[in-house]
Amino acid sequence: MRSIQEVWNAVLQIVQNDAGISQAAFELWIECITPVAIEGEAFVVSVPSVFQRDIIEQQFASQLTSAVEAAIGLPLSLFIRAEDEEQQKAEEDTMDDSLRHDLSSYYKMINPFYTFKTFVVGPTNNFAYATAQSVADKPAGAYNPLFIWGGSGLGKTHLLHAICNEMHIKNRQAKILYTTCENFTNEFLIALNRQTLPDFRQKYREVDILLIDDIQFLANKEQTQEEFFNTFEAVKNAGGQIVVTSDRRPNEIATLTDRLKSRFEAGMLADVQPPPIETRILIVRSKAEQLHFHIDKNVCDYIARELKTNVRQIEGVINKLHGEYLLNGTIPTERSAEEAIANVRNDNQPVAVTVEKVISEVSRTMGVSVDDIRAKGGNANIKQARKVAAYIIREITKMKMEEIGNEFGGLDHSTISYAYKNISDKMKKDTTFKAVVEDIMKNLKIGC
């Protein structure tokens, strides 16, 4: 088995011998590169600074890419990370006018592989796909705002980036601003603190299109919601397009102000749902093809059958199998796929668990309706189901007690703490009950 360092050493040798790079340039620019990993179709390396990265990208990218292909035998793109990028970004953010007219740093947040072409369309996402494409073709046309919602790992971020990529190709001058809700909130709070709101507003309001990912995180943040509402109005009134994503419909985002809910509901709502088996098979094939990686039909089908609700996991499994193939030549089999699937499922990385899923799973298992669980009051069964849901949310998400309370018609912090303790005590005493709760959690984790 070849380690990533061994593969990289082979790359270096090729560069040194064949690439026509002088010894001086080699020592200055190539030796500072550290191999990191093979991720999907990219060979990821890192360098200490953004400056070095830019030079390497401009001067040596093609020689390095060819050397990687020669060393591995397959075309991979070279992805260079700069270790000081985060720091540099943070510094830029604190400079009052640095970002005023410079939106280019935001293109760095856009994944160039997330395009309409690489998105597999099926019956559960075709509407979202079509509306996203229509927005990219004709921003601020029929679908404004566009609100894309659905569970984790189903392509919402992919579609947002696809809009950005498409618009950017069509019009290099277009002012495209993509950010996450979390980023928006942080930048707003910094601007508030440093009294640089005019800069913040200029940046967010003078755009042709504003795309905000995971808007559900606005819930509970009153001041940020107010700012977002005003941003929304300003962008729209100036003829700009708004696109947002969320893990649920607007009217299910507890504590989102009514005026924002109604603005979103008045626009175009498009959902993405877990794809059916036929689409999943196409996704597996398409992801493998993008990597120029052959996976036997029975293995493709196996992966598609096993991973039902989260495309991110499908991708994770294929990347893992591909990595094994590149490093030690292992041809994927059902057996190795099974292992990779078990790995992905055990990973604690973004498990596709949303509040909505927890509640619907509790509802299904405990026979109480979702609406009853979400409302206050009710009979003993309902209360029990609500407590179980609160307990599970606390266990498998990082939400605070108070945020959890908001999901249940505004229960306060102490009620949720009490529910949590009550359920953990009961689980200690009653093994059948414990098994029920654990079963729900297991189902959620494996995405049933």
Q: Which residues bind ligand ADP (CB under 6 A)?
A: 114, 118-120, 125, 152-158, 283, 311-312, 315
165 binds Mg ion (CB under 5 A): no
CB nearer to ligand ADP: pick between 149 and 200: 149
CB of 245 to Mg ion, least distance (A): 6
Minimum CB separation of residue 154 from Mg ion in Å reads 9
Name which of 291, 284, 279, 212 is nearest 245 in CA terms.
212
Between residues 52 and 216, which has the closer beta carbon with respect to ligand ADP? 216
Burial per residue of 390-410, b for 16 or more beta-carbon CB atoms within 10 angstroms, e otherwise? bbbbbeeeebebebbbbbbee
Instruction: Please give the structure tokens belonging to residue 143.
Output: 């679908």
Closest to Mg ion by CB, 206 or 252: 252
Nearest residue to ligand ADP, using CB?
A: 155
315 touches, from ligand ADP, Mg ion, none (C-beta below 5 to 8 Å by class): ligand ADP
CB of 119 to ligand ADP, least distance (A): 4
Q: What does the angle CA 362 – CA 366 – CA 371 come to, to the nearest 5 degrees?
A: 60
Contacted by 120, from Mg ion, ligand ADP, none: CB < 5 to 8 Å by type: ligand ADP
Nearer to Mg ion, 209 or 272 (CB): 272
What's the closest the beta carbon of residue 240 comes to ligand ADP, in angstroms?
22
CB of 113 to ligand ADP, least distance (A): 7
Residues 6+ apart with CB under 8 A from 176: 103, 106, 107, 164, 167, 168, 207, 208, 209, 211
Is residue 174 within 8 A of residue 208, CB to CB? The reply is yes
Residue 349 per-residue DSSP state: S
Q: What are phi and psi of 211, to 5 degrees?
A: -120, 120
Taking the least distance from each CB to Mg ion, the nearer of 151 and 323 is 151
**C-alpha count within 13 angstroms, C-beta hemisphere, residue 135:** 34
Binding mask 137-156 for Mg ion (x = CB under 5 A): -------------------x
Q: Based on C-alpha coordinates, what's the Rg of the chain?
A: 24
- Shortest distance in whole angstroms from residue 55 CB to ligand ADP: 29
Least distance between ligand ADP and beta carbon 130 (Å):
13
- Specify the residue, 198 or 276, whose C-beta has the smaller distance to ligand ADP: 276
Choose among 412, 433, 415: nearest CA to 424: 433
DSSP 26: I
* Partner that binds at residue 154, options Mg ion, ligand ADP, none, CB closer than 5 to 8 Å by kind: ligand ADP
- How far is residue 402's CA from residue 398's CA, in Å, rounded to a whole number? 12
User: Considering only residues 125, 144, 157, 225, which one is a binding residue for Mg ion as defined by CB under 5 A?
Assistant: 157
Q: Please say which residue, 93 or 315, places its beta carbon nearer to ligand ADP.
A: 315
- Which of 49, 241, 257, 208 lies closest to 132, judged by CA? 241
Residues that bind Mg ion (CB under 5 A): 156-157
